[in-house]
Chains A and B, each alone.
Chain A
Amino acid sequence: MTSTLDKLYAILRRDLLTAIRHRSGFIVTLVGVFTELAAFYFLSRAIGPGFRPDGVEYFPFLLVGTGIYTFFVMSAQAFLSAVQEAQQTGTLEVLLTTSTAPAELVILSSISAFSGSLVNLLIYLFAGVAVFRASIHANLLSCAAVLVLSLAIALAVGIAAATLQVAFQKGSALLWLLGSGLWFLSGTMFPTQSLPRPLELLSRAVPLTYAIAGMRAALLEGRSIMAMAPTLAVLAGFGAVLLPLALAGLSLSLRRARQNGTLSFY
């Protein structure tokens, strides 16, 4: 029998081969990373060293905020694009007739989509530190804990977008919300304490806020796991609720699409 690991390897290999054979896309991504970092670097210089949100320099603050935010959006986008492309080419129907259960297939595919974004995030952070001299005081264990818990939430977001895509052919609506509404509520570019009180309260209901705050504390301030326990607990709570909900929603929408014959509608 083929194990789940074999299947994961097959999906990762497919996505890696597709990415590297799309040479121009790979180069454009790299150029995009450096352009974005340069823009934030010069923005922070223009604002000056006096602005220290949460007690840290502005450029590292921006580096982590935009890095984690982009990780969330890119991951969900990559997964949604894979589903949309599979619908357009007819691959989705064929994939769902293989011996692999749809839920297993979705989780493995999303892990692959998220691995690409994770590599992108690591390149982004590394370039920010190595090229643009962002000062960090990392606690690697805390960073890993925040990343793993954030990944579970990002997976849920990606699967929810795929659910909307299969059910209503409108997966991009969730990404639009993520792209337009959440970036300023989650403290990506400025502390959430700067928001008016009602919006600040709203920002506490956004999982991305905790992912960004957690990564800043772990990467820029070197806080220990114990010191970060409350943030990690909130992230774990969001993951524990959102991930099963998203999976149940996708399972329901796939069944409905099979019943209605709309699996390949896009």
Chain B
Amino acid sequence: MDRIVFESVRKIFRHRPALFNWLGRERRGETIALKDVSFSAAAAEVLALLGPNGSGKTTALKLISTMLLPDAGAVRVGGFDARRDAGKVRRQVGIAVAAERSFFPRLSARENLDFFATLDEVSRGERAQRIQEVLRDTGLEEQADILVMKFSSGMYQRLGIARALVKRPSVLLLDEPTRSLDAGTTAHFWATIRALAQQQTTVVLATHNFAEAAAVADRLLLLHRGKLLADRAVGDGESAEEMRAFYFRMTGEIEEKICNL
């Protein structure tokens, strides 16, 4: 059975101008973030969501996590509908969002993880050990007891990943997870993703990094202006360059190299 099912999902954001906007240029309107998008993901599969800014990648992740609700169509996780059984969906999903500062600044990394693990209903007996594991996996062991207000961008990002992992979700959602990470941590993180997939975790990864998609993904979904342009397997040994060429061919965008000629 597919673990994630997106069935003709449509998401529209409606904009209302501010009340006193007579002098401004803000107008009423709407943005169609996803247009009848359908895809599915099985257990142990790693999906890379590719697409330019505003293509709907983050919206797709937020819909799976129940942060957003679809306007039409259905999102199901582990057989549960994200609208009707949001609680059951949330129990299965861990998400690392791109917002770096979504932590409590005057708590340490360990205290933050303990707090979120408690709300994620990780039992008291297991919490300390799991937190230690994710701190090690994300390279934060030495900074575990430092208040997170003193963290750098990269450390925040690692902590976000640790928070998503601590509940041991069956579906892991990652929004540009290695954007601020150094090369060594990135390589270690990619290995962690592959190891999680071997343990039957479904991973959905929104990224602009072709090397990342080539290194970890089994399948890639290409979104463009809210539409699903491609849904295909990543070929054996497919390189980042091949993926990049595919991306530009499909989206019709002009490659940077060509622009510079």
Contacts and interface: CB of A to CB of B under 8 A. Distances in A.
A141 to B, nearest CB: 34
Interface residues of B, number: 38
A255 B69 contact: yes
A54 B59 CA distance: 60
B121 A261 contact: no
A31 B87 CA distance: 44
A259 B62 CA distance: 11
B119 A91 contact: no
B123 A259 contact: no
**What secondary structure prevails in chain A residues at the interface with B?**
helix
Given A100-B119, A260-B13, A14 B103 contact: no
Contact of A89 (B66, B93, B102): B102
Interface stretch (A1-9, A37-45, A209-217): A1-9
B124 A261 contact: no
A96 interface: yes
Contacts of B124: 2, 6
A235 B122 CA distance: 38
Interface in B98-124: 99, 101-104, 106-107, 111, 114-116, 118-124
Contacts of A99: 87, 90-91, 119-121, 167
B115 A10 contact: yes
Contacts of A6: 118, 124
B115 A94 contact: no
A90 B119 contact: no
B43 to A, nearest CB: 20
Interface stretch (A15-23, A150-158, A159-167, A173-181): A15-23
A11 B115 CA distance: 7
Interface in A77-91: 89-91
15 contacts: A2-B123, A2-B124, A10-B114, A14-B104, A14-B115, A21-B106, A91-B103, A93-B102, A97-B66, A97-B93, A97-B95, A98-B90, A100-B119, A258-B68, A261-B68
